[in-house]
Amino acid sequence: MDTDGDTISNLDEYIAGTSLTEADTDGDGINDNNEALFASNAKLPDSDGDGILDGDEDYDFDGVSNAMEVIAGTDPYQSEAFLATGIICFTILLQSPMGSPPSSFSIIWVGTA
Ligand SMILES: [Ca+2]
Ligand SMILES: [Ca+2]
Ligand SMILES: [Ca+2]
Ligand SMILES: [Ca+2]
């Protein structure tokens, strides 16, 4: 049984002390099953005590809050906003002679897409 649909079974929630009927026990914007992603406390809305709710924190400083990144399915530790503003990462494969494995390197292109 998973009454609140947060992918954590009622039994596990009971053991962990989180709500069986609220997917977001502490109301910080991050569902119980995603709190582990942030190593945050599912029962404390502000795990690190800095006055900013866990869901409102912005770990990758891209201007998109952790909670919004979870909803959007983006990585809260990887800044997608930079991609949106036109920083494009190219990987160039260099052909190597004599059948040796190709080497590659990445360059960062900064510009408007
Ligand atoms: Ca549940
Ligand atoms: Ca929460
Ligand atoms: Ca905090
Ligand atoms: Ca972010």
pLDDT of amino acid 111: 54
Length of the chain: 113
Tell me the pLDDT of the chain (113 aa) as tens digits: 999 999 999 999 999 999 999 999 999 999 999 998 888 999 999 999 999 999 999 998 888 899 998 888 888 888 765 555 444 444 555 555 665 565 555 555 555 54
Residue with tokens 């039994």: 11
pLDDT of amino acid 79: 79
Rounded-to-integer distance, Cα 89 and Cα 107, Å: 6
Same domain, 34 and 59: yes
Same domain, 72 and 89: no
Rounded-to-integer distance, Cα 79 and Cα 65, Å: 11
Same domain, 47 and 92: no
Same domain, 43 and 91: no
Ligand nearest to the CA of 70: 4
pLDDT of amino acid 113: 47
Same domain, 68 and 44: yes
Supply the pTM of this predicted model. Answer: 0.67
DSSP 67-105: HHHHHHT--TTS-HHHHHTTEEEEEEEEP-GGGPPPEEE
Would residue 110 count as lying in a domain? yes
- How many angstroms does the Cα of residue 26 sit away from the middle of ligand 2? 5
Same domain, 21 and 46: yes
Domain that holds residue 58: 10-78
Would residue 33 count as lying in a domain? yes
- How many angstroms does the Cα of residue 41 sit away from the middle of ligand 3? 10
Rounded-to-integer distance, Cα 70 and Cα 34, Å: 8
